[in-house]
Amino acid sequence: MQADLLPFIDWKHHPRQVIAPRERIITAGDPTEMLFLLESGVALASDAAGRGHKHPTDLAKKASGSDITYVAGALLSLLELLSLDTYRHDVLAYEECRIIGINRHEIKAMWNRDNRLAWPLSCSIAAAITQRRQTRFLM
């Protein structure tokens, strides 16, 4: 899905921000109003981050089996943006990260430009995946 989304967005005209190592890029509970492209660096959505620890001591171990590691070119927490009203997991910079933010409404407008079904279908698929993952972890 990421490869299909990138050509529709002119990333040059969107704000960039540098995030220091161990700082949050996304905080669990924030509204899913912004999508972030990781332009450079490495970021983690980890179990420790999901439990709300500001600076998890095990971050230096990098990703465990249930962590998500994002590298340059990744769209951070795209499934959560498409399927939820708020982000479920923190995303922390593992090393210095340069990110580009784009408003959710701009993404929706771009997807709807060529096909009115693209946005609702993407949201529906993301919701099904998110629900399946949540159900799997509850068992």
CB neighbours of 1 closer than 8 A, spacing ≥ 6? 78, 122
Record: fold of 2-138: Jelly Rolls (2.60.120)
Q: CA triplet 32, 34, 35: central angle to 5 degrees?
A: 100
Provide the residue type at 50 as one letter: G
138: exposed, middle or buried (C-beta count within 10 Å: 0-12, 13-18, 19+)?
exposed
Give the start-to-end residue ranges of the domains of the chain: 2-138
- Spatial CA neighbour of 26 closest among 87, 95, 101, 98: 87
pLDDT tens string, the chain, 139 residues long: the values are 454 555 667 777 888 999 999 999 999 999 999 999 999 999 999 754 444 444 444 554 454 556 899 999 999 999 999 999 999 999 999 999 999 999 999 888 888 887 888 899 999 999 999 888 777 555 4
In this structure, are residues 69 and 63 in contact, taking their beta carbons and an 8 Å threshold?
Answer: yes
In this structure, are residues 100 and 14 in contact, taking their beta carbons and an 8 Å threshold?
Answer: yes
Tell me the pTM. 0.76
